[in-house]
Amino acid sequence: MVPDLRPKLAFVLFLSVCAFAFDWQILLPLIALVLLFPLALPSYHPASDRARHLFFRFILFSIAISGAIIVLNGWILQTGERVEILPGIPLFSDGLLFGVRTAARLLLLSFSVLLFFSSTPIPTCINALQQSGLPRTVVLMLLLTLHFLDSLPERINRIFMAQEARGAPVRAGFISRTKAFFSILSPLLLSSIAESVDRGVALELRGFLLEMAPSAKPALPAQPLSPLTILLLAASFFILVISIARWLLP
Amino acid sequence: MKLSEQFTKETSGAAIPFIAFCIALNLTVGQVTSALKIPIYLDSIGTVLTAVLVGPLAAATAGALSNLLASAMGSPTMAFFVPVSLVIGLFSGILARRGWFKQWYLVVLGGALQGVLAAVCSAPISAYLFSGVMMAGTDFLVLYFRSVGNTIMESVFYQGLASDPVDKIITYLIVFLLMRNLPRRLTGRFAGAANIPSRSA
């Protein structure tokens, strides 16, 4: 049974619309809400330990970057009143306000997208996409990408060490290191193309690329949208229309 | 020919696993550049490889899927740049079809044009969605351009012009050199085998 991801996607859409429609005073509580979701709601729990680690590491990283964005904008954009927050660093109100607005929007957008992906395993996401009518070639592409993503770092590391053992200048000067880039990329590409050809032949032999007969296509009943999804979509649409109207008619 | 028919034609045989490899390459090539401490991104090298060996629609798909997977893997803002990847894939695929990957000077020119196009496409997204702040090192360039009196849109565009053409020229040249040195028995399996430069080029 593939879970219905539409409520989650509608929630991401709702948060994205809010990020553009509202000012930072409203965005900050929404950011706090997004941060509480993985702790409070089971369906938003990170899907794995790795996802949990990634999610919380990204939160810490982006909060630190946001602080830097605010200070840098306040320091470089020297308009408005001078504000003494950090001793020895002159900050200006207009730059600080711009930094806060930008950081709040960026944080909400980033956290909402990350909340979806950290709580939804990629294979589940791919299954849901397939059920919603994504071509099977694209689904296979995504699944094979996951395979390559697992194996590529190890393969790169192996080639790197082999070239280093052969005396390739992987730790020498800039020009030598740039040349060494080719000595790593060429065998990587060669082995991967060879593997691609082998896999392609295997797919053809298994008849994967043959057209499916109409009767063989899986008949999946279209599920109705849940009330929550409808509510979120309607709210997003309403906020978007109001924002555009306010922008056009000041 | 319909787009769907064209896509089906491009993604046959060895193309599907190769496109998957190229998407993974887009996401992991940074590992090679950081291991060698080379200050370039090359995050569209897989897209351009797909464009040359497979075709424009497959390349656009590879670019878009790369961005979506990058979002899932810890760079959430990448999802908003899917249109830029689509343009990069389509443009490089069209250039490859027209034989621009057979001569080195056309490759350099194509890379420069691609860089300008990428800057033009990414500037509105970066400016309007993120006010020019992408949580990356290039933010300093945007801030510099803003501090000398440019608008956000202008600053983001100038930053793109300063960094994208160089990155794309290098990407195009790497793909050109790789394609030139690959054995024909392997590349001959792909629809874009005719786009590949000969060793005498």
The strand pairing partners of B159, in sequence order, are: none
pLDDT of residue B201: 47
- What is the token pair recorded at A242? 């109001």
The domain in which residue B172 lies consists of 11-194
**More confident site: B118 or A81:** B118
- pLDDT tens figures, B35-63: 666 656 778 899 999 999 999 999 999 99
- Is there a domain that residue B73 lies in? yes
| Percentage of chain B exceeding pLDDT 70 | 90
Residue A147 CB partners (closer than 8 Å, separation 6+): B20
- Is there a domain that residue B3 lies in? no
- pLDDT tens figures, B126-149: 888 777 777 667 777 888 888 888
Q: Find the mean pLDDT for residues B28-39.
A: 68
- Alpha carbons A178 and A156: distance in angstroms, whole number: 16
- Is there a domain that residue B164 lies in? yes
What residues in chain A have per-residue pLDDT under 50?
213, 215-216, 219
Number of domains comprising chain B:
1
- pLDDT tens figures, B81-115: 999 999 999 999 999 999 898 888 999 999 999 99
- Is there a domain that residue B114 lies in? yes
- Is there a domain that residue B5 lies in? no
- Is there a domain that residue B25 lies in? yes
Taking only residues 170 to 229 of chain A, the set having a beta carbon closer than 8 angstroms to any beta carbon of chain B reads: 170, 174, 177-178, 180-182, 184-186, 188-190, 192-197, 199-201, 203-204, 209
ipTM: 0.85
- pLDDT tens figures, A165-201: 887 776 777 777 777 777 777 888 888 888 888 887 7
B113: CATH? 1.10.1760.20
- Is there a domain that residue B199 lies in? no
* Cβ contact A185–B76 (<8 Å): no
- Is there a domain that residue B150 lies in? yes
* pLDDT band at B34; cut points 50, 70, 90: low
* Cβ contact A200–B16 (<8 Å): yes
* pTM score, whole prediction: 0.81
pLDDT of residue A52: 82
Of A20, A160, A193, the CB nearest to B18: A193
Q: How far is CA B58 from CA A37, A43, A110, B20, in A?
A: 37, 34, 28, 10
Average pLDDT of the residues of chain B: 84
Residue A88 CB partners (closer than 8 Å, separation 6+): none
- Alpha carbons B94 and B110: distance in angstroms, whole number: 11
pLDDT of residue A2: 66
* Cβ contact B24–A149 (<8 Å): yes
CB A93 within 8 A of CB A80: yes
Q: How far is CA A100 from CA A24, A65, A80, A97, B177, in A?
A: 7, 12, 15, 5, 46
Virtual torsion, Cα B18, B23, B26, B30, nearest 10 deg: -90
Cβ-Cβ contacts under 8 Å between A and B: the total is 180
